[in-house]
Amino acid sequence: MQTMVLDERLDGRTPAEVETPELVARASNGDQVAWDQLVDRYSGMVWAVARAHGLGPHDAADVSEVTWLLLVQHLASMQEPERLGVWLLRIASREAYRMRRLRGYEVPELSTTTGSMPTQLEVL
């Protein structure tokens, strides 16, 4: 039912046809349907990032929750909304790393050349 509401406001476009920057703008103005579409669009990636860091389902759910909460807090101030996917990827990765440390998982050291997490291939 929510999809029909969004369609009516978007000149007959489906939610999938709406570009991310427009969804970000609408969601930051309180459009729940636009927010739901962003979550639908990116939740699989956020979950996959958390699980790729070796987290179990409960910890991955916590990482996802924190990632979405941080987006709510920063949604209105996003300077490059077209890069939302990259932003979510980085936040989920950082939160997964933080969760691994918090829960006592073995945590790989940050790369000395890039200052970021090593890739899965670098860890192997």
- At 3 the pLDDT is 47
Dihedral angle computed from the Cα positions of residues 91, 93, 99 and 102, in that order, rounded to the nearest 10 degrees: -100
| 52-84 tens-digit pLDDT | 999 999 999 999 999 999 999 999 999 999 999
Dihedral angle computed from the Cα positions of residues 40, 44, 49 and 51, in that order, rounded to the nearest 10 degrees: 130
Tens digit of pLDDT per residue, the chain (124 long)? Answer: 444 444 456 667 887 789 999 999 999 999 998 999 999 999 999 999 999 999 999 999 999 999 999 999 999 999 999 999 999 999 999 999 999 988 876 655 655 555 554 444 333 3
- At 24 the pLDDT is 96
* Torsional sign, CA 28, 58, 53, 107: positive
Helix, strand, coil share (%) of the chain residues, nearest 5: 70, 0, 30
- CA separation for the pair 117, 115 (Å, rounded): 7
